[in-house]
Copies of this chain bind each other. A is one copy, B any other.
Amino acid sequence: MYTDQQKKIALFAKVFGHPARVAILQQLFEIDACYCGDLSEEIGLAQPTISQHLKELKSVGLIKGTVEGVKVCYCIDHENWTKMKDLMHQFLDKDIPKADCC
């Protein structure tokens, strides 16, 4: 029904389709690594809600989490982030600006 590329683009875009997940990623850009509890406080959503969003980000490979004692340290998976970025650029930068037809 759809190409693999279309499905992949949609999958990543869907993950970015909620402001909480955008906020989480931007926070991880800023401070490089972060604990779930800190994100919960920073963003203003309950801990289980943040945990759920982190799970989704992890499921598409954009972040990883490492257990550090009682906490879990989350950060961007740079390798996968780059791959995702290439894919999104392929899609976003495809169009050649022309006069609008209608």
Contact = CB atoms under 8 A, between A and B. Distances in A.
A101 B73 contact: yes
A88 interface: yes
Contact of A29 (B65, B73, B94): B94
Copies in the complex: 2
Interface string A31-62: 01100000000001000000000000000000
B102 A92 contact: no
Nearest to A81: B95
Interface string A50-90: 00000000000000111010000111111101100100110
Given A98-B78, A102-B75, A19 B26 contact: no
Given A22-B6, A26-B94, A101 B75 contact: yes
